[in-house]
Amino acid sequence: MRLLVVGRLSGQLSAAVKMAMDAGAKVAHVETVTQATDALRKGQGADLLMVDYELDIGALIEANERERIHVQVIACGVNPDPRKAAQAITAGAKEFIPLPPDAELIAAVLAAVSDDSRPMISRDPAMQAVIKLADQVSASDASIMITGESGVGKEVMARYVHEKSKRAQKPFISVNCAAIPDNLLESELFGHEKGAFTGAMARRIGKFEEADGGTLLLDEISEMDARLQAKLLRALQERVIDRVGGAKPVPVNIRVLATSNRNLAQAVKEGTFREDLLYRLNVINLAIPPLRERPADIVVLSEFFVKKYSEANGIPLKPIGMEAKRRLQAHGWPGNVRELENAMHRAVLLSAGSEIDAEAIRLPDGQPLNPVAPIGMDYINRAAQAAESAARTFVGSTVAEVEQKLILDTLSHCLGNRTHAANILGISIRTLRNKLNEYAAQGLSIPAPQSGASAA
């Protein structure tokens, strides 16, 4: 994490800086709020500002916002005055750290505010295959397109690639193309010169230059308008950029990663995304499966989030109960890992017993996860017997017909649960889904999850 300290480095503030460095932060320093904004404008990136509360924190945040620089601020001060501490928070500081410093407090605040510790956690073969491919290509400078539904962990994968690359010690800069209006995105990416437009009071270094030597992530690249796509293509091809209002090109040395939750090949056909840009970005594609296709990841991720939020809230760590685990694995998780993380955060706060039970795991509307049919040897044996019984009727059928009937009957008797059916059939969940897609394209009715035999 990159930390910019603002204030005179004397006594206790110097001690706090050393503690931050011991906690893994890369620290830079300026003395005034004006110098802080100027440093950020010139491309000295920071993930967090630690500011002496005797300075005008409100003016600093306002100056940064005028330049569309969004960096969180924590205030600090010696012999803290409660009134001044409250004023710092009101002005926009995220946290307040009293000085003399406490090493554990500084480490906790840095971790909580920066939130850049998101390890790649997986046990599911489908996800591990993607991680293996990422390991193979991370060391290169090839552009990578990371695709998948919203919430699957595309940015986590991008950070993983960066940390495995030869650029790991250089900046990792992320830009959400969907969150910035089109008329501002060009300046955000490429920077601008003084006077380039109304409000451009000084030169501003863009994200391309801020990421120089490191990695630039273009999050949700599909939302970028056509004019900017052309400028981005030139930057990728020639490794130079043009600041808005600039007179000469600026060379950059970066690796570009991009993410999308849309089908970009379809966007090319629709004329909303440039085909040549897609080819340039999509040298390697890392397609992250949705969480519902990674059943072995659900419990291990849940346990990670329970540990994370128990520590963050000072709550004793509790195990996840068996029934809760079953419900977690049976739920569809349309919001993917992001939805699961939020659910487990709530569960940590709501759990009242010695373990996190099923009732503590709530959906956003407050409803608990749906109960699931008991899964044990009796249940599996019944499903297997049903499949065996169905197999007796296969004499005289083609192999394809036998396969189709066996798959659909097993799925029906597994109440539409793809994971259980795949286990019984001895095939991967991906193979099962491909077969079901084929059958659906033929007009056959496919049992929906939790639908039971009557839905076959």
Q: 3-class secondary structure for 140-153?
A: CCCCEEEECCCCCC
Please write the tens of the pLDDT for every residue from 301-356: 999 999 988 887 788 999 999 999 999 999 999 999 999 999 999 999 989 889 99
- Looking at 1.10.3720.10, 3.40.50.740, 3.20.20.70, 1.10.8.60, the CATH number of the domain 292-360 comes to 1.10.8.60
The DSSP code for 223 is G
Please count the residues of the chain.
456
The predicted structure's pLDDT at residue 454: 32
Give the span between the Cα atoms of 361 and 187, in whole angstroms: 43
> So what CATH class is 125-287?
alpha beta
In this structure, are residues 78 and 9 in contact, taking their beta carbons and an 8 Å threshold? Answer: no
pTM: 0.69
CA distances from 53 to 31, 32, 59, 133 (A): 12, 12, 12, 47
Establish whether domains 125-287 and 292-360 are of one fold. Answer: no
- The answer to which of 119-123, 135-139, 375-379 has the lowest mean pLDDT is 375-379
Q: How far apart are CA 361 and CA 351, in angstroms?
A: 8
In this structure, whether the domain defined by 2-114 belongs to CATH 3.40.50.2300 is answered with yes
**Interval 211-259: pLDDT, tens:** 999 999 999 999 898 889 999 999 999 999 988 887 788 999 999 999 9
How do the domains of the chain map onto residue ranges? 2-114, 125-287, 292-360, 377-455
Classified as helix, coil or strand, 187 is helix
DSSP, collapsed to helix, strand or coil, labels residue 209 as helix
Average pLDDT, the chain: 84
Residue, of 297 and 97, whose pLDDT is higher: 297
